[in-house]
Amino acid sequence: DPNIKEVMRVSEVLESRVQQAFTRPAYKPMALRVINALAVHRLTTGGDIHIPIGPTAAELRDALCLFQPGVEDMPGEPAENLLSMVQTVMREVLKTVNGQFISKAQDTEQYYLDLKKDIDYDAQIEKRAEALSDDALDRAYYSAVKALMECSDDLRYPGFQIWQYQLEWQERRVERMGYLFFGAPNDRPTAQPERDFYVYFIQPFDKPKFADNNLSDEVFFRLTGLDDDLKRHLSSYAAALDLASTASGGAKAIYLSKAQDFLRAMSKWLQEKQMTAFEVTYQGKKKNLQEWAKGVSLRDRARLGADERINFRDVVNVISGLVLGQRFVDLSPEYPTFSVLVTEANRKQLIGNALRALAGGTRTKDALALLDALELLDGDLVDPANSRYAQEVLNRLKAKGHGQVLNRSELLSGTSDVEYFAPIKYRLEPDLLVTVLGGLVYSGDIVLSITGDKIDSGKLTQLAERSLEELKQFKHVEAPKEINLAVLRALFELFDLPSGLAQKASQGDTEPVIKLQEKVSGLVPRVLKAGSDLQQGKLGFWGQNLLREEEAKDWHARLDSLKKFTESLAPYNTVGKLKNLRVTQEDLDGQKKNLEILAAVERLLELVVELGSTASYLSQAEMVLPAEHPWVKQAETARKALQEKLSQDRTAEHAAEYRQTLNQLKKDYITAYIASHSKARLGVAEDKTRNALRKDDRLLALRVLAGVSLMPTSQLTAFEESLNGLKSCSSLDEPTLVTAAVCPHCQFRPSAEQLELIPAANRLHKLDDDLDQLVANWQQTLLENLEDPFTQDSLGLLPPASKKLIDAFLASRKLPDPMTSEFANAVQEALSGLEKIAV
């Protein structure tokens, strides 16, 4: 059967290709089964072996019971994972057989043997490659170089393969602008602005004819090490692209895919054999890359890390930079040398940081590096005096004459695209010139005029607030105004400096500026402290604020104004900046009043601190003595009088009077307190008397008799409470009360104690008399009760010893001395109502 024969032939071709060229060995068994399945299916279509139908990937999976080891270990649904594998296998098969004999229906996703699809793509490419022109091969070569040089598709001049390009000037650590061009010098456009260099990649096949004039800005790269491998890759790449341009559908995709394979092969060859395959010509000298790089570490020059690999572009850049190094020196002999690499990608940020640092922002490491390269630093200070670039600007301004401005066009020359300051000597770009001008504004040497404003040393923040593009389009620079001597004299006088310093400053002397800044730096913390103390209510005395609320607000506002004024003077730290001083006589008059307020606050604060401890002592003293005490009345009167005087005395000129009044009050209090203390407390002798009274035989006798139920023991308890209620303290003296308003030994507070009218010592003597009377009363009580007829009847019933004690007492009519418990027990028995019982 011819149909079977044709299907088997195609199946054998496909199997052979898969066996030989399948790129996924693990999937090869599945691929062969799929081809066999498609062959069998082709014979089941009712005799028409060309009908475009067949199984889908899912049907192949299920009908063939396809399985791939390891699919069960993959995450997700096994059936879906297996389907993805079948789809992958089909894509690889189509790729391996170059799309021959297998098609996929786009609408049904069915795969089938396409017996008429017998194009040999490789053969087509090989055939087309044989007929390619040198120009086509050159285009293929440039495609590879373009990819290796990482060139964009955005061409400045359509129709010309030319790009703006940057090379590092290694010695100065800065990138130079130039052009990269695919072709010869006589082919490049002439409309582009002149730059520092041209790097040419010359066509290797259709070699152009041109005159090499050995110019110092031209470097030529020629591919001289062509071999058969590279030629084959180039021609195949060009042929595949050519065929793809006329093909469509699947064929187009196959040609483009093959073109990418050939491009990768070309790039790999160029990368690996670059050092010997390329010849570089500069000013008539011809060497291959390896010879040009002799004695040079390409990796170090390319600034690569330990794990980074040098690529084709790195080598081209380093070698080009090496050969053009002297060209850059000749072009810009006094161009700055940077300590950080300045590239086209980062220079805007670096210059912005430098301008922000000049405006008072953070001085970052790269900002300082840029300012240092432009010679604008003297140590950590911004000082353009030693900057050749800054001095060139000042010399040009000076040459214009007094009152004249230096226009932008007199500083920058060139086209609108490429401008330089001093192109023969320095060749500074506009952004670097703006940084130099910023340094001169900072030092007060110039005023920079921009659209709608003028930036002087008092407006440095504009350097950070305006965009770099706006600053680059400045209008002109001008000298600052002359120093206003009258205002400057008033300023120095305001800060208690000799007015003659103003004249010295106008003559360029730096001493006045130094002295002024010393005053300013000393005044700022004073104002801040005074304002803070005022805000926190520290201007209070003896419990009352010295300032009314409206007055306190006014003083605080004045201090805030003085603070802002003082801080505004800080930038005027050079003679040049003093020329831009924007202060009027009216301003100074206002600040003179504010300085008076500062002095008043400081004097009052000092007085409050000095008197505060005494006032605090007296406030405590007022709570110690009773409210009705004469001293308390005296203190209240004195406090009101002092507060009234202080509220009027803003200069504290009567401080001595206040001090004397408070000290006298304190002295009077100490006298009053000691008097009260002496009255309320027992001294050493009285304390000994009290202790003796506690052990007195009379008191001991009463304590024994207290066991007799008849005795009025409450009298004894009251006596002992009175005796114990007497407090003693003999340690207090005047020096102790100088620091403490209350006796630290007994904590005597008259206002908190129930004071007796009689002094403690007198009360102690009275208690001695009271004790005699108490003993006499108790003795009489016992006599009366024991002589009672009822009691007399029961005395005979007492034990003989007890009766004897009672009889002795009744006979002597005096309590036994010493008192015994036996006597007390006998009395208790006698008075307990004994009755005689007949037996």
Question: What is the DSSP-derived secondary structure letter of residue 176?
Answer: E
Q: What tokens appear for 604 in the block?
A: 């009052």
Task: Give mean pLDDT, residues 334-345.
Answer: 94
> What is the total residue count of the chain?
839
Question: What is the DSSP-derived secondary structure letter of residue 76?
Answer: S
Rounded Cα–Cα distance for residues 760 and 766 (Å): 10
Per-residue pLDDT tens for 316-334? 999 999 999 999 999 999 9
Strands 198-201, 727-728: pairing is unpaired
Rounded to the nearest 10 degrees, the angle between the axes of helix 630-648 and helix 655-680 is 170
φ and ψ of 518, to 5 deg: -65, -45
Between 150-159, 291-300, 567-576, 799-808, the lowest mean confidence (pLDDT) is in: 150-159
The closest of 739, 730, 538, 728 to 621, measured between CA atoms, is 739
Per-residue pLDDT tens for 589-640? 888 998 888 888 888 888 777 777 788 888 888 888 888 889 889 888 888 8
Contact of 606 with 533, CB cutoff 8 Å: no
Q: Report the pLDDT value the prediction gives residue 651, as an integer from 0 to 100.
A: 66
Rounded Cα–Cα distance for residues 154 and 803 (Å): 142
- 799: which residues sit within 8 A by CB, 6+ positions away? 829
Return the SS3 of 472. helix
The closest of 145, 126, 334 to 238, measured between CA atoms, is 126
Percent of the chain with pLDDT over 70: 96
Per-residue pLDDT tens for 707-733? 888 888 899 899 888 888 788 888 888
Rounded Cα–Cα distance for residues 318 and 278 (Å): 14
Q: Report the pLDDT value the prediction gives residue 755, as an integer from 0 to 100.
A: 59
Name 382's bridge partners: 377
Exposed, middle or buried: residue 529 (CB in 10 Å: 0-12, 13-18, 19+)?
middle
Task: Give mean pLDDT, residues 345-366.
Answer: 93
Question: What is the DSSP-derived secondary structure letter of residue 342?
Answer: B
Q: What tokens appear for 506 in the block?
A: 């106008």
Residue 174 has pLDDT above 80, yes or no: yes
Question: What is the DSSP-derived secondary structure letter of residue 708?
Answer: S
Residue 838 has pLDDT above 50, yes or no: no
Residue 507 has pLDDT above 80, yes or no: no
Q: Report the pLDDT value the prediction gives residue 587, as an integer from 0 to 100.
A: 87
Task: Give mean pLDDT, residues 524-540.
Answer: 82
Residue 835 has pLDDT above 50, yes or no: no
Task: Give mean pLDDT, residues 394-422.
Answer: 89
Spacing of C-alpha 730 from chain mean position: 64
Return the SS3 of 64. coil
Per-residue pLDDT tens for 104-159? 776 788 888 877 776 777 778 888 888 888 999 998 899 889 988 988 887 767 77
Per-residue pLDDT tens for 9-67? 888 888 888 888 888 888 888 888 888 888 888 888 878 888 888 888 888 888 877 77
The closest of 706, 680, 673, 702 to 764, measured between CA atoms, is 680
Task: Give mean pLDDT, residues 743-753.
Answer: 83
CA 768-770-775 angle, 5° bins: 100
pLDDT band at residue 836 using 50, 70 and 90 as cut-offs: very low
The larger pLDDT score, comparing residue 235 to residue 247, is at 235
Return the number of other C-beta atoms located less than 10 Å from residue 417's C-beta: 9
Contact of 417 with 426, CB cutoff 8 Å: no
Contact of 559 with 601, CB cutoff 8 Å: yes
Residue 510 has pLDDT above 90, yes or no: no
- 158: which residues sit within 8 A by CB, 6+ positions away? none
Rounded Cα–Cα distance for residues 582 and 574 (Å): 15
Exposed, middle or buried: residue 497 (CB in 10 Å: 0-12, 13-18, 19+)?
middle
Per-residue pLDDT tens for 766-781? 888 888 899 999 999 9
The larger pLDDT score, comparing residue 527 to residue 407, is at 407
Rounded Cα–Cα distance for residues 516 and 514 (Å): 5
How far, CA to CA in Å, does 754 sit from each of 626, 628, 692, 831? 10, 14, 25, 41
Q: Report the pLDDT value the prediction gives residue 533, as an integer from 0 to 100.
A: 81
Rounded Cα–Cα distance for residues 787 and 778 (Å): 14
Select the highest-mean-pLDDT range: 386-390, 500-504, 628-632.
386-390
Q: Report the pLDDT value the prediction gives residue 543, as an integer from 0 to 100.
A: 67
Rounded Cα–Cα distance for residues 576 and 457 (Å): 9
φ and ψ of 424, to 5 deg: -80, -35
Write the single-letter amino acid at 502.
A
Q: What tokens appear for 265 in the block?
A: 């092969």
Rounded Cα–Cα distance for residues 353 and 367 (Å): 5
The larger pLDDT score, comparing residue 220 to residue 82, is at 220
Query: Would residue 494 be called left, alpha or beta, if left means φ above 0 and alpha means ψ between -120 and 50 degrees?
Result: alpha
Q: Report the pLDDT value the prediction gives residue 219, as an integer from 0 to 100.
A: 96
Rounded Cα–Cα distance for residues 195 and 180 (Å): 11
Instruction: Using a cut of 0.85, tell me whether the model's pTM lies above it.
Output: no
pLDDT band at residue 756 using 50, 70 and 90 as cut-offs: low
Return the number of other C-beta atoms located less than 10 Å from residue 738's C-beta: 12
Compute the chain's Rg from CA coordinates: 57
Rounded Cα–Cα distance for residues 152 and 160 (Å): 13
Q: Report the pLDDT value the prediction gives residue 76, as an integer from 0 to 100.
A: 79
Name 377's bridge partners: 382
Contact of 243 with 128, CB cutoff 8 Å: yes
φ and ψ of 419, to 5 deg: -120, 150
Return the SS3 of 37. helix
The closest of 118, 68, 65, 62 to 88, measured between CA atoms, is 68
Residue 763 has pLDDT above 50, yes or no: yes
The closest of 292, 314, 317, 283 to 176, measured between CA atoms, is 317
pLDDT band at residue 757 using 50, 70 and 90 as cut-offs: low
Q: Report the pLDDT value the prediction gives residue 196, as an integer from 0 to 100.
A: 92
φ and ψ of 258, to 5 deg: -70, -35
Question: What is the DSSP-derived secondary structure letter of residue 603?
Answer: H
CA 652-657-662 angle, 5° bins: 105
pLDDT band at residue 307 using 50, 70 and 90 as cut-offs: confident
- Positive or negative torsion for Cα 402, 403, 404, 406: positive
Cis, bond preceding 818 (omega within 30 deg of 0)? yes
3-state helix, strand and coil shares in percent for the chain, rounded to the nearest 5: 60, 10, 35
pLDDT band at residue 754 using 50, 70 and 90 as cut-offs: low
Q: Report the pLDDT value the prediction gives residue 833, as an integer from 0 to 100.
A: 64
Rounded Cα–Cα distance for residues 646 and 82 (Å): 97
Name 113's bridge partners: 102
Percent of the chain with pLDDT over 90: 26
Please report, for the chain, the start and end positions of each structural domain, with discontinuous segments joined by +. Answer: 2-118, 125-331, 347-478, 485-613, 614-681, 687-830
Rounded Cα–Cα distance for residues 74 and 55 (Å): 26
Q: Report the pLDDT value the prediction gives residue 650, as an integer from 0 to 100.
A: 65
CA 527-530-536 angle, 5° bins: 140
The whole-chain average pLDDT of the chain stands at: 86
Rounded Cα–Cα distance for residues 324 and 750 (Å): 101
Contact of 620 with 747, CB cutoff 8 Å: no
- DSSP string for residues in 127-143: HHHHT--HHHHHHHHHH
